[in-house]
Structure 1
């Protein structure tokens, strides 16, 4: 069992997301350590990109702030190296294929493995094209996490059969962002997965309240929370750590109670 999949072995998994470098890499490093202590079972680290097609305005602007602050891929790798000295929580990079290509695909994945990054999530890499990265991920022991959406329909079983680590279940059509209601029938998506695989399923896109987190965790194996966290970061900037931590503790409790 990979470390990514093991994040779900103790029950329902709470998975917070951070945009690396917003407001600074030093704050991101501190947040990783504090989120792990607050109950995160796996942490997604977003590598900021100038054209994040899957992201809504909250994470888009977080990316812009991070890039304006001078955040680079090598800087993020160095930050993760420091954070790894303080916590063993499973980590996943969420990024786009262009930054990976620019860095050098094999070099990027090898560096992830060296630093203890357990998984890669690449929203703009279609399942049919995962061969661009899969050989390197297999060689270096990094899970390449697949995404499924309400529109995936007949492809869900195909994707689930080959899924690694966990399946990222997109709860809503469109981009990431806080929503007052999550409309998609995630239960139907997960039932299709279960026909062919026991891979853990985590739901993301739109979860913001403890009630939503608990509801989604009851339907799946975990809940991913991103935009709501980055809204707190945007509000408090360099002073965000205690506020994010308090929110994460509440969300982690709701997710874990669903198990």
Structure 2
């Protein structure tokens, strides 16, 4: 006789990464690691590998919302994360769907600029994200360059990160985590948390690896997974940051470019591959 289970459920609304390192693929692996059932709504399909992206095809906004509604209405969702939404049409439709949904927690990774500073969406989409989606976030997780846009300031120091977090908080999210992966020197990997009280600096061990593809997706998905498990918001962020650090320790040396983090690192550690990861 089957042992039926009823696990927590999380939803990812993001793009597909054909290389398997980021996007929907990274999110679902992260959910599975946390023993959370992962559901998805694809926003776009990318042709990419460890060396870069060669093509992006957006899905119709109606198709994105239909995926969200199918999951939420039948299965139920305890938390959701947003990643690459790509354009204004998808962002507007998703924002409207969020307003009508009963999902209690939304982790929004405001994918606008890569960690190296390359802008990924157009200015109209950035404006829509800032005015419509940012205020709907339970937790917003901008990187350095996204925080510069949202906070309207240059970020070079820890104090700048704290000011940016507070300015972004004023846009309406319940909490902000400014990520320091793109910061120089000792600030690399240092994050700043702000939820209306005193800013809190979060640090973990710095992992020296070139294979960091998918860290932003993985972090926001891990926060969503921990929220689905019922953890308090700040605790969910702490656990998620520790998870990403461990996944970086077992990053995958695959492909000719930047490999992904090792989402399933306990399995790698227990296998023959663990010795060379």
TM-score range, shorter chain: 0.3 to 0.5
| Higher radius of gyration, 1 or 2 | 2
Structure with more helix by fraction: 1
TM-score between both structures, scaled by the size of structure 2: 0.41
TM-score between both structures, scaled by the size of structure 1: 0.43
